[in-house]
Every structure is written in C-alpha cells, then in structure tokens.
C-alpha cells in the first residue's frame, strides 16, 4: 500500500487579540530569559545587552520621523497597542505629552509567566525608566515614568 502525501496550505486563523497575546507572552519570555541568563555572566555583559536593545528600539522610532513629544507618545503607544494589545491613553501638546498604560500586556505577561520577585519588578521598572530617559534624550526631550496602582505613565517634555 502506498501512502499519499497530503499538502495543505495553512492560512492565518488566529484573531488579532490571540496574536497580540502570544506576542506579549513571547516578548516577556524572551526578555526575562535573556536578562536572567546574561546577568549571570557579568555586569558588563548585561549593560551591553541593555544598550543593544535600546539601540534597536531607538532605530525603530527614529525611522518614524518623530519631531514632538506628541509624535513620540503616539508612535510609542501605537507600537504597544498594535503589537501586544496594551490599553493605552495618550494626551498632550507639541511641547509635553504623555501616555498611560491602562493595561500593559507585556507587564501582565511577565507577571503571569515569570512570577518575578518584588526586587525583580523594581529592577524592571528602573530599566523602563532608564529606557524612557534615553528615548526622550535621543529626540531632545526629557522622558520620565511614574508607576502607580499597576499603571505606568510616561511623559516626554521638550
């Protein structure tokens, strides 16, 4: 008896919400795993990894021709909303603008999948604050974060 080989062309069937959830989970797993392995190597290796990740993110936003704080929060918010399904509100002017993560899909995925310690959560927030500062500085702005009641607010000022 001869086996018949079946060929089936697969088509995307996941909803956008399912894709965003899986992206948020993958992002959390990759970042948390890479960070936990690299930090065991040396402080210098962790700094180099963090700097490379920052450079890649800055490259993305640079391509978007950001000119004002409002441009930046819109680009940052759209990236997070579309990629991971976070719930974000933006507000501001051309000289000061902010965004508030009503829910941050990557943060929730990290908490659910990795169960970080309080100390690790604090470290993660410090890393986010550092990134936001560098992102703002890259465009000539001041970038700050505020984490309150499980909501992150990011502000950029010209």
Domain of residue 152, CATH code: 3.30.1380
Domain housing 55: 19-157
Q: What is the DSSP letter of 149?
A: T
User: Which pLDDT belongs to residue 107?
Assistant: 87
Q: Is residue 12 part of a domain?
A: no
Adjacent-strand bridge partners of 156: 97, 143
Flag whether pLDDT at 56 surpasses 90. Answer: yes
**Is 101 contained in some domain?**
yes
Token look-up 């501001």 returns: 92
Q: Considering the domain boundaries, does residue 130 fall inside one? A: yes
* 13 within some domain: no
Does the residue 135 lie in any domain? yes
- On whether residue 3 sits in a domain, the answer given is no
Confidence of residue 2 (pLDDT cuts 50, 70, 90): confident
Q: Mean pLDDT: which of 48-52, 95-99, 149-153 is highest?
A: 95-99
Q: Is residue 5 part of a domain?
A: no
- Whether 8 is in a domain gets the answer no
Surface-to-core class of residue 88, CB atoms within 10 Å of its CB (0-12 exposed, 13-18 middle, 19+ buried): buried
Q: Domain count of the chain?
A: 1
Residue 56's region, left for phi above 0, alpha for psi from -120 to 50, else beta, is alpha
């Amino acid at each position: 008896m001869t086996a018949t080989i079946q060929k089936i062309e697969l088509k995307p069937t996941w909803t956008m919400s399912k894709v965003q959830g899986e992206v948020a989970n993958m992002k959390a797993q990759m970042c948390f795993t890479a960070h936990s392995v690299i930090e065991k190597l040396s402080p210098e290796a962790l700094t180099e990894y963090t700097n490379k990740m920052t450079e890649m993110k800055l490259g993305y936003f640079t391509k978007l021709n950001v000119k004002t704080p409002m441009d930046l929060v819109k680009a940052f918010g759209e990236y997070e909303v579309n990629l991971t399904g976070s719930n974000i509100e933006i507000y501001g002017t051309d000289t000061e603008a902010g965004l508030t993560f009503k829910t941050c899909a990557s943060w929730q995925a990290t908490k659910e999948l990795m169960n970080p310690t309080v100390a690790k959560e604090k470290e993660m927030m410090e890393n986010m604050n550092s990134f936001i500062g560098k992102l703002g500085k890259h465009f000539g702005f001041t970038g700050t974060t505020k984490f309150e009641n499980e909501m992150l607010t990011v502000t950029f000022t010209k």
